[in-house]
Structure 1
Amino acid sequence: MAESPSDVISVLESLIAGDPEKLVEAKSYAILARLRRFNRDAHAIVNEQRQTTLDARNSMDQAHLGLQNLLYERRHFEREIQKCKQFQFIYHDVPLYDLEEFSQLAPEASQTIDDHDLMKNRLEFEFTERARLQDRLKALTAERDRLLKLKKETRVKMEAQAREETELAKAKPHNRKQQLLRSYCPR
């Protein structure tokens, strides 16, 4: 039942129309009831504002926390970028053919425009060259070992023949013939 305040007051006035004391008492109760209602409304408004303020504060705290997280990530990424810029790559220490030699030795690989691709091509070329030279070194080492073995065998044979010759020279003349025959015609 929604009544306006003036309707309520007119009903109260009709009830206490004759007695002024009752009229004052009734008006004071009506005023007190209105004051209580205003007080309840004020408390409700204050509670709503507190909740609104709390929500706004939580929202601001979340935004601030998000900002702090982003700033932390930014500092982390900046440190990582700085580490990457200071990193000493091993390819700086690898002796490579200079660009002119590289262009002559591998003309198809040196035609790229991009510096990164050019460096990759130079490193790949250097790798294949080193592999080729390593294979050549292995082949030459094997050939050297074979020749050293042959030289050693030849030296052993020559030393054996030299010993036989000295024995033959020291031997008696009639034994020389027999020893010569034995050395050249083994049985």
Structure 2
Amino acid sequence: MSPTTPHITDPLLLSVLSAASLARQSALETLSLLSSSTPPSPLALSAQQKTLKSHLATLRAQNRKALLSTRATKAQTTLLRQEIDALHLSLQNLYYEQRHLRGEIEGCETYDHAFLKLPMVSVEEFLQSHEDYVGKGEHEVTVARIEDEMRERQRLEGVRVELERRKEGLAKEVAGKREELGRLDGEVEKWVAGEGNVRKVFEAREKKMEGVVG
């Protein structure tokens, strides 16, 4: 019957222990045979020696298998330990990355965004004129409000540019009218001056005629 050891469960190691036990038992029997008061017969001694050699050969073979298995187990254990260390390092990296991302998220949530200061229409007013966004998420509604505000400002900018263009056109037209009015004033002044000269000529002629008649 093979001996059992409560702390060892590996089949290969148990086979080594069993072979060692058999070899020990065979060695004790050989010593007992040699130390007997009655010398053993050569045939009995030869048979006992063969049995001992057989058990020793089995023990050496089982021990060699156990050593090779132990080396393979150590190599596998080393490989698994390296994998565990790599996984532990990856876990640490993921932990640091998670903490970093949480910090980034918190920073984004508490960031004083510029769009919050934009003079946009309220959410209620926007949803009243854009019913297709009712029930949408806050982010989607905010983006839509910003885009709507941009379009409205672009439209107002277009109106402003058009008014500026019309203003410049009217200014040029007024300047042209003023220039034309200035020319007309000059012509009128010339006409008035010419009329005075003509009147003087007629008055001089009338006086001359009166002198002739008198």
TM (normalized to structure 1)? 0.63
Superposed displacement of residue 151, structure 1: 1.5
Aligned residue in 2 for 1:96:
120
Aligned residue in 1 for 2:176:
153
Of the three residues 86, 93, 101, the one matched with 1:65 is 86
- More RCO (CA 8 Å, sep 6+): 2
Aligned residue in 2 for 1:173:
196
Instruction: Report the residue type matching 1:132 in the other structure.
Output: R
Q: Structure 1 residues 99, 23: CA separation in 2 closer, same or farther (over 3 Å shift)?
A: closer
- Indicate the percent of aligned positions where both proteins have the same amino acid: 16
Aligned residue in 2 for 1:121:
144
Aligned residue in 1 for 2:59:
38
- Contact 1:110–1:118, Cα closer than 8 Å, also in 2: yes
Superposed displacement of residue 74, structure 1: 3.9
In the TM superposition, what whole-angstrom CA distance separates every residue of 1:112-162 from its partner, at most 9, and x where no partner exists?
A: 353223213322321221122122112211111111111111122223333
Unaligned runs of 5+ in 1: 10-17, 177-187
Answering whether residue 185 of structure 2 is matched by residue 162 of structure 1, we say yes
CA distance in 2, matches of 1:164, 1:98: 63
Instruction: Report the residue type matching 1:57 in the other structure.
Output: T
Aligned residue in 2 for 1:14:
none
Unaligned runs of 5+ in 2: 1-21, 27-38, 200-214
What is the root-mean-square deviation in Å for CA atoms of aligned residues? 3.7
Of the three residues 100, 119, 124, the one matched with 1:79 is 100
Please tell me whether Structure 1 or Structure 2 has the larger radius of gyration of its CA atoms: 2
Superposed displacement of residue 175, structure 1: 6.8
Superposed displacement of residue 65, structure 1: 0.6
CA distance in 2, matches of 1:95, 1:68: 49
- Secondary structure of the structure 1 residue equivalent to 2:120: coil
Q: Structure 1 residues 101, 23: CA separation in 2 closer, same or farther (over 3 Å shift)?
A: closer
CA distance in 1, matches of 2:134, 2:42: 113
Instruction: Report the residue type matching 1:139 in the other structure.
Output: E
How many pairs are equivalent? 160
- Which segment drifts farther, 115-124 or 45-54? 115-124
- Which segment drifts farther, 123-132 or 19-28? 19-28
Q: Structure 1 residues 72, 27: CA separation in 2 closer, same or farther (over 3 Å shift)?
A: same
Superposed displacement of residue 27, structure 1: 5.0
Answering whether residue 184 of structure 2 is matched by residue 130 of structure 1, we say no
- Secondary structure of the structure 2 residue equivalent to 1:73: helix
TM (normalized to structure 2)? 0.56
